A = this chain, B = another copy of it.
Amino acid sequence: MLDPVSRVRRFNRAVTSAVGALDTSFLGRGRPLGAARVLNAIGHGRSDVAEIRDYLGLDSGLMSRLLRSLEDDGLIETAAHEDDARRRVATLTRAGRREFAAYEALSNAQAEGFLAQHSQAEALLAAMDLIASALTRERVTLDEMDPRSEQARYCLGEYYAELGRRFKQGFDVSLSRDPDAKDMRRPRGTFIVAMSDTLPIGCVGLKGTDHGYAEIKRLWVAPAARGLRLGRRLMDAAEAAARGLGITLLRLDTNSALPEAARLYRNTGWSEIPRFNDDPYPDLFFEKRL
């Protein structure tokens, strides 16, 4: 009754019946599931018909009919794409926005109801994040973003908070050599955020310098996404970006309070070097030639 496979299967059973209930809640507004899914995809900002079709995995004939039925109900309007008249874009009408809002309210109420049942919501949410990340593992995208973007700032905030917990003396960004955002933008460097669905779950910065090397900074993976080898993927992406920018030498600093990071560096071709800056926090320094 305790072997791992049984536990996964128990989870599958629990979730299958819960999803069934979720689907029927989508049916609560007298519309077949397929049409409801298309309406919601449009409401969530997917306007391109081909994109929706791809996202929902629908046949083009079926997709076309679902669009017609939503159009007949006065919920959406379609028009030719402005750059390419073969493609169509769908937008919600006023009635469609109302209907979409009703679906959103249903979904939110359902989620709130679930949370309200549970007295330790934070543990439950952490577990949900972990599982959602594991399930969407192969759909995690690594996107170059501005280090000042909302997603990047979220990652950095979590990163600093974690350093604060893990360093005995805490962590104060202002004492550390905080990289300038412009050093982590092309062409000097870049900043990469790992996105799972709409949630940022990791980041890494490539910071250009004037000393003949670039630095890797702010490598972070959300607790809920650990174990998916995302750190390695982020490092690979940062190195690839560095190569693309013509950078041939990378350096980084880290702290022995973060042993999993040092392990990753040692396993991926980095070698330890003497201290190369006077930042008070790091006590380990690495270099890698590309």
Contact = CB atoms under 8 A, between A and B. Distances in A.
Nearest to A133: B14
Given A1-B198, A4-B115, A22-B16, A128 B128 contact: no
Interface in A74-133: 107-108, 111-112, 114-115, 117-121, 123-132
A50 B284 CA distance: 67
A138 to B, nearest CB: 9
A125 B14 contact: no
A114 B10 contact: no
B137 A117 contact: yes
A11 B132 contact: yes
A14 B115 CA distance: 17
Interface stretch (A60-68, A207-215, A225-233): A225-233
Contacts of A111: 4-5, 8-9, 12
A131 B10 CA distance: 10
A169 interface: no
Given A9-B111, A121-B4, A15 B197 contact: no
A57 B21 CA distance: 11
B22 A12 contact: yes
B16 A132 contact: no
B199 A1 contact: yes
A200 B1 CA distance: 9
A225 to B, nearest CB: 10
Nearest to A107: B9
A29 interface: no
A70 interface: no
A154 interface: yes
Contacts of A134: 114, 117-118, 124
17 contacts: A1-B154, A1-B198, A4-B125, A5-B115, A7-B125, A8-B111, A8-B114, A8-B115, A9-B107, A9-B108, A10-B128, A10-B196, A12-B107, A15-B15, A18-B135, A119-B227, A123-B226
Given A123-B130, A127-B131, 20 more contacts: A1-B200, A4-B111, A6-B199, A7-B199, A10-B128, A10-B198, A11-B129, A11-B132, A14-B131, A15-B132, A16-B19, A16-B22, A19-B19, A20-B57, A117-B137, A119-B227, A119-B228, A123-B226, A126-B127, A127-B127
